[in-house]
Amino acid sequence: MHRPDLEAELERHHRAAYGWAMSCCGWDRTQADDVLQTSYLKVLEGRATFGGRSAFRTWLFGVIRRTALEYQRRNAIRRLLPLHVGPGSMEPPVSGTDPATAVEQKETTRRLTAALARLSGRQRELLHLVFYEDMSISQAADVLGIGVGTARTHYERGKRRLRELLGGRGEL
Amino acid sequence: MTQDMNDNDLRDRFRILRSDVERTTPPYRRPADRPARVRLAPVWVTVAALATLVAGAVWIATRDGAPSPQTLVALDATWWAGPTDFLLATPGIELLRSVPTIGAIEGAADDASQAINDTAERTERIRS
């Protein structure tokens, strides 16, 4: 693919890619920005080459995931510092016109991100790809580079655990 | 799909999360449009460069071979005679420096006279 085509594809998938980067970075906006920029650079500079073996979005999500892992490894020491902003640090967005609804949605979002943070990495990634990105389990397995059977197992266990966490009181 | 129907509670929660995230998602910008960051050399490059420098320094310090022409010292050129050396050239000095041997008495007088002559010649040579 040529650079203009790549840029068009990146722009088309930007919103979904941003959500995925946020998930990979524990909802840390600054990290997600950095990871996404680095991933885009990798794609545009040819350091990550799209081979056409899967959908562009699936491939792009794989690049973002690897970049996020590299980023986190590099910043492992920094993450141990007490000033680290952990999962659920996403700024409360300004939602709808109705303040009550906005507060309710904000609480829902906070609880969900907090519950997701307590899942294993694989479970969290699978649930995000399936429920947030509307991918099939097979597509999600492609992004993560694992078999469909394994993905399904993580998916089922993740769902069960997520429901338990969301159903509990005062835990999150 | 039954599975999907059962998961509607989770889907709803993720839908809310998604709408919140998308509302605050910054627009796409070309990476080239963003301020370039200073990219430091990877750690392994720095380590490799340091290792090469250290190895080179060790090799130079410990190599064992023929000395270079610059390090050769011409010993002849280092001989130096003080201006008052001739005062030490006293007559019969050779007799004092030599060790007498038993059975060589007969020729001792000849040797002594020869030594005196040698000393006298040497003194003259130094004076001149």
SS (H, E, C) B32-90: HHCCCCCCCCCHHHHHHHHHHHHHHHHHHHHCCCCCCHHHCCCHHHHCCCCCCHHHHCC
Residues in B touching A41 (Cβ below 8 Å): 31
Query: Under CATH, which architecture does the A3-74 domain have?
Result: Orthogonal Bundle (1.10)
Tell me: the pLDDT tens digits for A91-144? 545 445 577 777 878 888 888 888 988 899 899 999 999 999 999 999 999 999
B26 touches A: beta carbon within 8 Å: yes
Q: Is A126 on the interface with B (CB under 8 A)?
A: no
Confidence check on the interface: ipTM exceeds 0.85, yes or no:
no
| Cβ-nearest to B24 among A93, A106, A113 | A93
Amino acid at A82: P
The model carries a pTM of: 0.59
The closest CB to that of A131, out of B14, B31, B32, belongs to B14
Best mutation target among A3, A13, A40 (most B Cβ atoms within 10 Å) is A40
Give domain limits for chain A: 3-74, 99-165
B66 token code pair: 């023929």
Tell me whether domains A3-74 and A99-165 share a fold: no
A40: nearest CA in chain B? B31
Query: Does the domain spanning A99-165 belong to CATH 1.10.10.10?
Result: yes
Query: Each residue of A12-47: pLDDT tens digit?
Result: 999 999 999 999 988 888 889 999 999 999 999 888
Handedness of CA A62, A84, A118, A27 (dihedral sign): negative
